[in-house]
Amino acid sequence: MDDYKHILLNHTTLTYIDQGHGAPVVLVHGSGPTDLRTWERQIEPFAAHFRVIAYSRRCHYPNPPAGDHADSASTRTHARDLAALITALQLGRVHLIGFSFGADIVLRLATDRPDLVRTLVITEPPLRSWLAALPGGIDFLAQRAAAILPAKRAVQQGDLEHGARLFIDGMMGNGVFDQLPLSARQRIMDNARLIGAEPTEIDAMGSEDITCSEAATIQAPTLLLTGDASPPMFLLVSRELARFLPHVEHVQIRGASHLLHVMQPQAYNAVVLEFLARHRGQGLNQEPRTENRAPRTKN
């Protein structure tokens, strides 16, 4: 995990790992306090079958900070960075894997640059504009903002550990921060300054999300993953998104909250690798998922 490479793209430096051979798989991490190391339990297993690129998005460790970190919250900025990385490394069409805000980013790329996308694996994209349009969604967003504000204040006052704990527990449930592996908590601390850039103004949340009509145009085979212990707002959005994606499989992983790949890595890896194995080529010929079909459950 320490064989880092660096590339200058779009006036910023991105750090990445490039491991394995075969069809390219690009891993896109989530928002706030995380970076490429979040994939430590995926990189080697995936690299046994594919060429795996995991990168830290702009502003995230160990990349240089950027002023007030405003770009760290821009879906379109990160999608442009991702497109530039794929192009610079001459990867062609790739399998894209993203969790949380990283899933928002790969959905945006699949809409804006479908020529770069082979398949999508997305875990609980927040898609806040979608949530706002669902019954009870505004209440969930207000609760989210209320949970984030104390975390932002703690970080701005220099108490990074307290801010990180408030942020993770506020987003994923009380006590989740202390349940995470030590390596995951260290990653969170290394990126805790970015909690200060998290949006809390409800009107501004999700302004760069894909729309329902854009989701319906995505032709890439898509694996949508959720955890059965995830906060309700993520499950609401995922179910709604599944109604619009033309070629989607929805799998729910037991015993996992929002950080599926960290909390249940074996189950996560098994589901993802099986999906990728079925779509090594192009794989655009599967039937669309019907709206009322229940997600498949993985132990």
Q: Tell me the per-residue pLDDT of 142-167, one tens digit each, with 9 for 90 and over.
A: 888 888 899 999 998 999 999 999 99
Task: State pLDDT tens for residues 213-255.
Answer: 999 999 999 999 999 999 888 999 999 999 999 999 999 999 8
Q: Which long-range contacts (CB under 8 A, 24 or more apart) does 263-266 make?
A: 263/179, 263/180, 263/227, 264/227, 265/41, 265/42
The answer to whether 128 and 104 have CB atoms below 8 angstroms apart is: no
- Measure the CA–CA gap between 190 and 243, rounded to whole angstroms: 37
The answer to whether 246 and 218 have CB atoms below 8 angstroms apart is: yes
- Position 285 scores a pLDDT of 37
- Measure the CA–CA gap between 19 and 126, rounded to whole angstroms: 29
- Position 291 scores a pLDDT of 36
Q: Which long-range contacts (CB under 8 A, 24 or more apart) does 203-206 make?
A: 205/128, 205/129, 205/132, 205/141, 206/126, 206/127, 206/128, 206/129, 206/130, 206/131, 206/132
pLDDT band at 200 (very low <50, low <70, confident <90, very high): low
- Measure the CA–CA gap between 38 and 33, rounded to whole angstroms: 10
Half-sphere exposure for 237 (CA within 13 Å, toward CB):
32
Give the pTM: 0.89
Residue type, 117: V
- Position 71 scores a pLDDT of 58
Instruction: Give the tokens for residue 289.
Output: 């998922």
Instruction: Give the tokens for residue 200.
Output: 């809390």
- 188-192, 200-204, 246-250 — most confident range: 246-250
- Position 290 scores a pLDDT of 32
Domains and CATH numbers, the chain: 5-134+208-298 (3.40.50.1820)
Residue 299 scores a pLDDT above 70: no
